[in-house]
Amino acid sequence: MKPDCDVLVVGAGITGLGAAYQLARRGLTYLVLEAGDDVGGVWRTHRWHGARCDSDFIKYSFSFKPFLSDQCLHGRARIQAYLREVAEEFDILPRIRFGTRVLSASFHSAHGVWEVRTSRGVLRARFLFNGNGYFSSPHLPRFRDEERFAGEIVHTAALDDARSFAGKRVVVVGSGSTAVCCAPELARTAASVVMLQRSPSYIYEIDNRAGALIRACQALYRSGLRAPVRLLRWYLQLRDDVIFVAFRAFPALARAIFRRHWREAVSEEAYREHFTPRYDPWQQRIPVAIGLKRALRDGRLALCTGEIERFTPGGMVLKDAREIACDVCILATGYELDLFRFGLSVDGAPVELAGISFHKGIMMGGVPNYFHPFGAVHSAWTQSTEAMTRYAIDVMLRVRDEGRRGVCVPRRELWSAPRILPGYVLRSLSRLPRLYGNWGLPTLDNVLSYRFDARELRFS
């Protein structure tokens, strides 16, 4: 059973492209399997109005090609263009098989080879690196009498930002990052926009201009000095980790910070109604807003907190009997969490994936030669997955150099609480992997957790 390459990488999003770069740099052959027709992952498919990354892009971009800009955050189109530039510059494109969806994968211990069945045939490799992301289908709540509504109900997953809602009365249902990004953008052109949240979220607004420190480090990078940007990325990661830990340890202090943040933008009554969640800060993700304060002050956007009781031909009625007129209802209600888009088997036996132990967020218990990054929940995805990928390649090289067939970690029966509890996690709690072996804080994990230690591994 001859392998086609050393590593099959699933997905040409930011995880898969980062893995491709590092695999080539370390001398491993690879193929990237991508179901779509271009690179980018979610930055290719999520085309709704205002879609962007919530992390400073100087640290979300790859360490080997940091993106320099006078803005902190960037939108979907610019991120996809950046990923396309990476794929072209580092000669990754010729190694990507587009239009190739993975259907199933089976590991054969006797040969130390993964056999991967795809929509375009069977491929084999010694290692399987799964970068297919977290989310699959959109979460579509059902509402009473929605069939009576004369307007349109559409999920953000079905939107394209080229579409105009000029002259329309729009209601955006949701309170997470998607709604916070989408609603202010729609408010630029729609006749009216109401952001309807079932319950409040903690929201933090930035003006999106890169600060003096970021600009200075980027200027030095352009002049040929690379170290300042490396230190900047480390500092921004440390800042994120400190805020995450401090907000969870001192929730009263965190709530006071958010109260001060919104004091001049909204009234005390509005703050209590729309910006005071029932949970503590960083028990769920904290959306980052751009332009929300101005849209609220200008009256182009209104916040409403309440639950939909039913739809009418001209809008919706809330459970407290308030009515909202509406032409278009946009559901910013998120996605279903689905780490595993295809079935795995080992020597013909299907792997039970629900609740599987997940060592260091990269290796699943009892599944040989398989790597699947599961990044930090509160910070830039890339700074976690780059360290995980380097660790995975260290393991692969040890298997190759010692003439082994396989490597895995034992499957463990354990309980671990999710680090945050947004709706998509609560809806999938029984199926989630059980994480262990790291702190979930990239500043520590990237230095300590991903050092190669053969004692943690089982070789065959």
- pLDDT value of position 217: 97
pTM of structure: 0.94
Q: What CATH number labels 138-209+249-335?
A: 3.50.50.60
Question: How long is the chain?
Answer: 460
- pLDDT value of position 341: 85
Question: In CATH, which of 3.40.50.300, 3.30.420.10, 3.50.50.60, 1.10.3720.10 is domain 5-137+337-459?
Answer: 3.50.50.60
pLDDT digits (tens, 9 = 90+) for 293-349: 999 999 999 999 999 999 999 999 999 999 999 999 999 998 877 778 899 999 999
For the chain, the domains span 5-137+337-459, 138-209+249-335
The low-confidence residues of the chain, meaning pLDDT below 50, are none
Torsion, Cα of 36, 38, 44, 47 (10° steps)? -90
- pLDDT value of position 414: 82
- pLDDT value of position 424: 61
Establish whether domains 5-137+337-459 and 138-209+249-335 are of one fold: yes
- pLDDT value of position 428: 62
- pLDDT value of position 316: 97
pLDDT digits (tens, 9 = 90+) for 246-302: 999 999 999 999 999 999 899 999 999 999 998 999 988 899 999 999 999 999 999
- pLDDT value of position 426: 61
